[in-house]
């Protein structure tokens, strides 16, 4: 393959990505008809909760229902052009699907946004330290490589001791 062909195959995906319109990079965008938007922060290991921010985009009061794994966590209303933050509990070592619904008297609840949140905080009293689970995979890889080299060396030594003989020793 020629150098220019390799260069072209390398540059082509990068060039295509740069030539895309800017709107393609802004995914996902909120639906313009939604009365509010939802955004989640990261899980707080100390409290085991995640901050969920609901921001009203309209000029009127918006009613909401916030659910975690299908169970209602918070219900209320958001004033016009304001935001509220609610804390949703997530158990350690598990994940929760957080959903925000728009509530109205005339229609069924409308799903506005949903996201999965995982609480992967460490267990035990030592926060910030993972429990000992054995030697690292780096050490195990080095030991496996060394063992394979010793076995391969033994096979090569044995084969080199019998290979140069051209005559049968029992003749």
Q: Which domains does the chain have, with CATH numbers?
A: 39-119 (2.60.40.10)
Q: Is 0.75 topped by the overall pTM? A: no
Residue 14: is its pLDDT beyond 80? no
For residue 116, the cross-strand partners are 97
Which string of DSSP letters, residue by residue, matches 84-150?
Answer: EEEEEE--TT-EEEEEEEE--SSS--EEEEEEEEE--PPPSSSTT-PPP-SS-HHHHHHHHHHHHHH
Task: With H, G, I as helix, E, B as strand and everything else as coil, classify residue 74.
Answer: strand
Q: What is the pLDDT of residues 80-129, one digit of tens each?
A: 999 999 999 998 888 999 999 999 888 889 999 999 999 988 765 555 66
Tell which residue, 73, 145, 75, has the closest CA to residue 103.
Answer: 75
Predicted pLDDT at 160? 82
Residue 131 has pLDDT above 80, yes or no: no
pLDDT at 20: 65
Question: In the Cβ-directed half-sphere of 128, how many Cα atoms lie within 13 Å?
Answer: 0
The sign one gets for the Cα dihedral 8, 14, 15, 17 is positive
Spatial strand order in the sheet of 62-68: 71-78, 62-68, 95-102, 110-118
DSSP state of 46: T
pLDDT digits (tens, 9 = 90+) for 23-79: 455 555 666 778 999 999 999 888 889 999 999 989 999 999 999 999 999 999 999
pLDDT class for 15, splitting at 50, 70, 90? low
The per-residue pLDDT for 96 is: 94
* Token representation of residue 156: 């090569």
pLDDT of res. 34? 85
Q: Is 153 helix (H, G, I), strand (E, B) or coil?
A: helix
């Amino acid at each position: 393959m020629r150098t220019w062909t390799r260069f072209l195959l390398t540059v082509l995906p990068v060039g295509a990505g740069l030539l895309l319109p800017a709107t393609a990079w802004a995914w996902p965008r909120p639906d313009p008809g939604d009365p509010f938007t939802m955004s989640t922060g990261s899980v707080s290991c100390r409290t085991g909760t995640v901050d969920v921010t609901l921001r009203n985009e309209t000029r009127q009061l918006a009613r909401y229902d916030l659910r975690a794994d299908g169970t209602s966590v918070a219900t209320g209303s958001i004033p016009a052009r304001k935001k509220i933050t609610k804390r949703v509990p997530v158990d350690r070592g598990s994940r929760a699907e957080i959903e925000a619904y728009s509530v109205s008297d005339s229609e069924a609840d409308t799903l506005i946004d949903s996201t999965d949140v995982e609480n992967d905080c460490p267990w035990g009293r030592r926060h910030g330290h993972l429990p000992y689970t054995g030697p690292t995979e780096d050490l195990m890889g080095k030991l496996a490589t060394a063992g394979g080299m010793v076995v391969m060396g033994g096979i090569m030594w044995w084969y080199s001791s019998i290979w140069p003989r051209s005559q049968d020793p029992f003749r």
